[in-house]
């Protein structure tokens, strides 16, 4: 396991859960063989051969002096990983959100492969939801998309056993459970090479900082955003393990219309929409803009699985009432952030992650939460905001058409709120998840997404 992947294990505490979720809302009418809890279990059992992440189990190193290793299991008891609930009437969005929040509150059992699936029945119009929960040490946003790709199909007919077999030949071979001598060797190697890694990190860090300073002085990153610049929002501070969820989606065509008329990237437009939702929700209660931290994919071509991401900071321009001014400020901030990322390079994160010390980091994370330090020091950033590119065409799960796809990220101590955006077919899903003790009215915030987009559409439609 890489140091970056392992860090998500070390940072996890009883109140800060480091798993990610994906909510799929399905139309079962397209499934000729019927659709339900048992059908989902059968699908997962047949597709495990394609998903090495779902067959892996943690094996801790001696005295936790180095990162854990993954061991592939021969048999994974799928029944233990798939559960189901039936929503109370009327089975609307709010009932679904409560069920998803309850599911997200429960941490994954580290004695088993780190994933779980919840099948939610009883939705209005006969629909069914499937919620997939995977630990962040296994996947980032891009890798989660790779996992989803192995579960879904391009049509309701699915894949034949022969097609699954051929696809499985491309999956890496199983890794056997290492013996005690190998585990001891792995630990010793990690401990011995750590000083060498630190020595190598110093010049890399110096080069990265020099590049960043040069970029800043050249003006290439003018308009950039730095941490500790945001105000303290109501949801910022120490978090508990309770969660609240809000799910919304907007038409892809509307987002493209704004992008075409006003410029910027898809991400710029959606950040402006989210920023507008916060502006409307806060109603002028904060005199400075919210600051978001944005995960950035640094995956090299051909890399699969795990976490290959860095991060940058950006304003959401929530202090600006004019939506066009907000868009221009965000365009400048994201362009500056990208320039900073190019100057820093992606290798610095990977190098630093390899040097993470398990016991020390785990202790620090738990002490930080227990002492409620996030309530004391200035706010580093106000929220995490991710944008994950999704499939541009409709997909099917066990024959049922996926009508909506909404992701949810981890809720971090200090920020207390995570917003994740994903494009899928002709819609854009936006998932809000937060500490329920920090912002219990999360749905009121999510309800401002559509009006915020309408503001931009009105400007885009002007001659």
Residue 370: partners with Cβ closer than 8 Å, 6 or more residues away: none
Provide the residue-wise pLDDT of the chain in tens; the chain has 463 residues: 777 788 888 899 999 999 999 999 999 999 998 899 999 999 999 999 999 899 989 887 555 666 788 888 888 999 999 999 999 999 999 999 999 999 999 999 999 999 999 999 999 999 999 999 999 999 888 888 889 999 999 999 999 888 887 777 666 555 555 555 655 554 555 555 555 445 454 455 455 445 545 555 555 555 678 889 899 999 999 999 999 999 999 999 999 999 999 999 999 999 999 999 999 999 989 989 999 999 887 666 655 666 667 788 999 999 999 999 999 999 999 988 877 666 565 555 555 555 566 777 888 888 999 999 999 999 999 999 999 889 999 999 999 999 999 999 999 999 999 999 999 999 999 999 999 999 999 999 999 999 999 999 999 998 7
**Cα-Cα end-to-end distance for the chain:** 55
Answer whether 0.85 is exceeded by the pTM: yes
Q: At what angle do helices 323-344 and 449-460 cross, to 10 degrees?
A: 100
Q: Tell me which of 136, 186, 279, 381 is the catalytic residue.
A: 136
Q: pLDDT tens digits for 403-429?
A: 999 999 999 999 999 999 999 999 999
136 is a catalytic site residue: yes
State the pLDDT at residue 359: 74
- The alpha carbon dihedral of 182, 186, 188, 193 has a sign of positive
pLDDT tens digits, 70-118: 888 888 999 999 999 999 999 999 999 999 999 999 999 999 999 999 9
Task: Please give the mean pLDDT across all residues of the chain.
Answer: 86
């Amino acid at each position: 396991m890489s140091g970056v992947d392992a860090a998500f294990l070390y940072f996890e505490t009883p109140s800060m859960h480091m798993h990610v979720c994906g909510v799929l809302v399905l139309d079962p009418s397209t499934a000729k063989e019927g659709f339900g809890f048992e059908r989902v279990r059968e699908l997962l059992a047949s597709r495990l051969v394609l998903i090495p992440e779902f067959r892996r189990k943690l094996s801790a190193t001696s005295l936790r002096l180095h990162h854990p290793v993954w061991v592939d299991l021969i048999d994974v008891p799928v029944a233990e990983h798939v559960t189901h609930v039936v929503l109370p009437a009327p089975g609307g969005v709010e009932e679904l959100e409560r069920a998803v929040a309850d599911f997200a509150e429960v941490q994954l059992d580290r004695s088993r492969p780190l994933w779980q699936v919840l099948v939610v029945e009883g939705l209005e119009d006969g629909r069914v939801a499937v919620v997939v929960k995977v630990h962040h040490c296994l996947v980032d946003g891009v890798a989660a998309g790779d996992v989803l790709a192995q579960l879904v199909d391009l049509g309701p007919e699915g894949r034949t056993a022969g097609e699954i077999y051929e696809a499985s030949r491309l999956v890496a071979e199983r890794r056997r459970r290492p013996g005690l001598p190998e585990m001891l060797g792995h630990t010793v190697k990690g401990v011995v090479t750590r000083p060498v890694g630190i020595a190598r990190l110093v010049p890399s860090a110096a080069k990265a900082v020099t590049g960043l300073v040069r970029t800043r002085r050249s003006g290439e990153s003018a308009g950039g955003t730095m941490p500790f610049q945001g105000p303290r929002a109501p949801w910022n501070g120490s978090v508990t393990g309770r969660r609240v969820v809000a799910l919304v989606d907007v038409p892809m065509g509307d987002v493209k219309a704004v992008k075409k008329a006003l410029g910027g990237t898809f991400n710029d437009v959606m950040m402006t929409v989210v920023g507008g939702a916060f502006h409307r929700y806060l109603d002028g209660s904060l005199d400075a803009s919210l600051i978001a931290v944005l995960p950035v994919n640094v995956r090299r071509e051909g890399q699969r699985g795990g976490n290959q991401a860095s991060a940058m900071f950006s304003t959401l321009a929530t202090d600006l009432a004019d939506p066009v001014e907000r868009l221009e400020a965000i365009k400048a901030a994201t362009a500056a952030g990208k320039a900073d990322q190019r100057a820093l390079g992606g290798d610095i994160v990977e190098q630093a992650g390899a040097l993470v010390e398990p016991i020390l980091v785990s202790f620090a994370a738990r002490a930080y939460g227990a002492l409620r330090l996030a309530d004391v020091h200035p706010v580093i950033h106000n929220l995490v905001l991710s944008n994950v590119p999704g499939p541009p065409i409709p997909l099917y799960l066990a024959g049922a058409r996926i009508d909506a796809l909404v992701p949810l990220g981890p809720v971090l101590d200090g920020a207390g709120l995570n917003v994740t955006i994903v494009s899928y077919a002709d819609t854009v899903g936006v998932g809000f998840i937060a500490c329920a003790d920090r912002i219990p009215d999360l749905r009121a915030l999510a309800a401002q997404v559509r009006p915020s987009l309408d503001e931009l559409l009105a400007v885009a439609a002007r001659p």
